[in-house]
């Protein structure tokens, strides 16, 4: 059984979970806009919420829009703080190189995922505890062949 959390909302309509078990509730546009290729537009959703302390809302792209039209969110995941009472807005980016994308009022443009968050208490120390990864980052597990002048390729065709 999925945990539920009560979230006070001011909106023309509440975001809807399309299916049982969906992590994201769809946010819809209150604006009709054209997004030219390579351009970004910030779009209103009409939704304002009061998230409980200890939670954040992540505004994340919709996979179908991304795969079919190249529409993503510039700052994905956009972070809605628990203390934020303003309208949730979505900065859409059209990554397609040639096709504009038209957003109509009521179009589902993004989804809101509620996540529990912890706050860190940062404790300055002289040295960090050892770990298996250590300081390796930014592709440290996957770029050794590329550095040697070759690239590895996965079965899906992506460069590894």
Ligand X SMILES: O=c1ccn([C@H]2C[C@H](O)[C@@H](COP(=O)(O)OP(=O)(O)OP(=O)(O)O)O2)c(=O)[nH]1
Annotated binding site for substrate: 62-64, 75, 79-81
Choose the stretch contacting ligand X; rule: CB under 6 A; options: 8-16, 85-93, 99-107, 125-133: 85-93
- In the set 11, 31, 33, 84, which binds ligand X (CB under 6 A)? 84
Is 66 strand, coil or helix? Answer: helix
| Cβ neighbours for 60, distance < 8 A, ≥ 6 positions apart | 24, 73, 76, 77, 78, 110, 111, 112, 113
112 binds ligand X (CB under 6 A): no
88 binds ligand X (CB under 6 A): yes
143 binds ligand X (CB under 6 A): no
81 binds ligand X (CB under 6 A): yes
Nearest to 7 by CA among 87, 108, 82: 82
In sequence order, the β-bridge partners of residue 101 are 35
């Amino acid at each position: 059984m999925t945990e539920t959390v009560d979230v006070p909302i001011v909106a023309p309509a509440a975001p809807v979970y399309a299916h049982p078990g969906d992590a994201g509730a769809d946010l819809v546009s209150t604006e009709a806009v054209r997004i030219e290729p390579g351009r970004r537009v910030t779009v209103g959703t009409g939704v304002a919420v009061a998230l409980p302390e200890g939670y954040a809302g992540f505004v994340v792209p919709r996979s179908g829009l991304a795969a079919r039209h190249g529409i993503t969110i510039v700052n994905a995941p956009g972070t809605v703080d628990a203390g934020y009472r303003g309208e949730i807005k979505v900065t859409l980016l059209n990554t397609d190189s040639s096709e504009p994308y038209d957003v109509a009022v009521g179009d589902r443009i993004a989804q809101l995922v509620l996540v529990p968050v912890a706050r860190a208490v940062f404790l300055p120390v002289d040295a960090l505890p050892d770990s298996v990864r250590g300081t390796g980052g930014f592709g440290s597990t996957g770029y050794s062949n590329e550095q040697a002048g070759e690239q590895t390729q996965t079965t899906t065709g992506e460069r590894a």
